[in-house]
Structure 1
Amino acid sequence: MRTERIAAVLLAAGTSSRFGETDKLMAELRGKPLAAHTLETVASMAFAELIAVVRPIEVAPVLHRKLDRRGYTIIVNDRPEEGISGSIVRAVEHVMPINRIRGILICLADMPDVPQTHYNRICLAAEDIRSVVASTDSFSSSPPAFIGRKHFPELLALKGDQGARALLSHGLQIETTGNVLHDIDTPEDLPGWRPATPE
């Protein structure tokens, strides 16, 4: 399916509890904030709409600014503790009335190494509104993932932090190579991270 018929949904509202006190998405990676890698890659593609689900502006002002500059429609998830499902539900509610959008591409802001080519492969593998196409590292299904419009009612019923995992596991699997699906959960996951040495 052409990207012009797909809404890209960037999920960036997590509480990052395992990362510690600092905002994970603002942690520096290769000279810019972690979230900037994904949001810029996705924004460089010709999607029907760019949507980002984020925490309120007072707790993520820099991220809001960067998303706004790149043309994202910003949806605030003021209850991130509900898990990833709450963010997906908010995005689907936004997209439902837009009939030209045939499905959504779910992207995670803490997966900085997914190349544009992989997002393209996911979209091209989606045939119609019934399609579900997930990424896999040979072990499990994960985003980036395409979910067709036919499954929107199922997405609206999601609860908790499992997200659409059950749906993705039954979809077409696009295998990746290397560390493409690596996500950043803790400071140790950042390349070059070193523990602070006591003075």
Structure 2
Amino acid sequence: MLEPENVALVLLAAGRSHRFTHADKLAEPFLDKPLAYHVVTALENMPFLTRIAVVSDTSLDFAARGYRVVENPDPSLGQARSLCFGVEAARAAGAAGVLVALADMPRVTATHLYRMFDAAHGAETIVASSDGVRPMPPALFGSALFDDLLNLEGDEGGRELIKRGRHVVTSPAELVDIDTREDLEALRELYGLPTDGK
């Protein structure tokens, strides 16, 4: 059975942010804290076995927030490479599974993740989030999938794997990810913060 206590949280925070100009996207302010710290804060009370942040060229101190930090020296190889670093660290920690979250998804909640654990079924688990149309992260994988995850390449990440798993539907607003500066400005506008970070 997969429970947070025997699962590693793997936070992918090593994106190249090409579509966000050359700024450190994850450090951009939103609601008075760096963008990436929203998911960190939302999940901080979940009792994960270990927390792993895969990073590259960020000023954020994930170690101070309880994460083991793994550096991805070449994020140009795509998201799958970051995922591999995270899975390797999780396997070394003896994790029975990995919960993969993205640092640029600031509205994810612990409530949704607990619903994902409710849908888990052991080492063969593949549970993904869904906006009702397509599956996406956060995603939960049992240890039987570790080898498959380690063989992924490019920017696809676990996309093909999660298509064949269970999908837990939540509000599209919770699953918004920030790829461009326009995405962040739209989110600030939603909260009535058109000048946030100016």
Q: Determine if the TM-score, normalized by the shorter chain, exceeds 0.5.
A: yes
Partner of 1:189: 183
1:44 Cα deviation after fit:
2.2
1:45 Cα deviation after fit:
1.1
Which letter does structure 2 place at the counterpart of 1:52?
A
Alpha-carbon separation, structure 2, partners of 1:9 and 1:169: 20
1:112 aligns with 2:113: no
Contact map agreement 1:27 1:34 (CA 8 A) in 2: yes
SS of residue paired to 2:112: helix
Within-5 A mapping of 1:86-105? 86-99=81-94, 101-105=95-99
Unmatched 5+ residue regions in structure 2? none
Q: Deviations over 1:127-169 (max 9, x none)?
A: 2010100001111111101011001111111000000100000
Q: CA RMSD in A?
A: 1.4
Partner of 1:160: 154
Contact map agreement 2:30 2:188 (CA 8 A) in 1: no
TM-score scaled to structure 2, two decimals? 0.90
Alignment: residue pair count: 188
SS of residue paired to 1:113: coil
Alpha-carbon separation, structure 2, partners of 1:157 and 1:73: 23
1:124 Cα deviation after fit:
2.2
Q: Deviations over 1:8-34 (max 9, x none)?
A: 000000010000121110111111110
Percent sequence identity over matched residues?
40
Partner of 1:135: 129
TM-score scaled to structure 1, two decimals? 0.90
SS of residue paired to 1:160: coil
Alpha-carbon separation, structure 1, partners of 2:11 and 2:43: 8
Q: Deviations over 1:23-74 (max 9, x none)?
A: 110111111110010112222210000000001xxx323x1x2x11111000
Contact map agreement 2:39 2:106 (CA 8 A) in 1: yes
Alpha-carbon separation, structure 2, partners of 1:34 and 1:97: 29
List structure 1 runs of 4+ shifted beyond 6 angstroms: none
Alpha-carbon separation, structure 2, partners of 1:124 and 1:52: 24
Partner of 1:68: 63
Which letter does structure 2 place at the counterpart of 1:31?
D
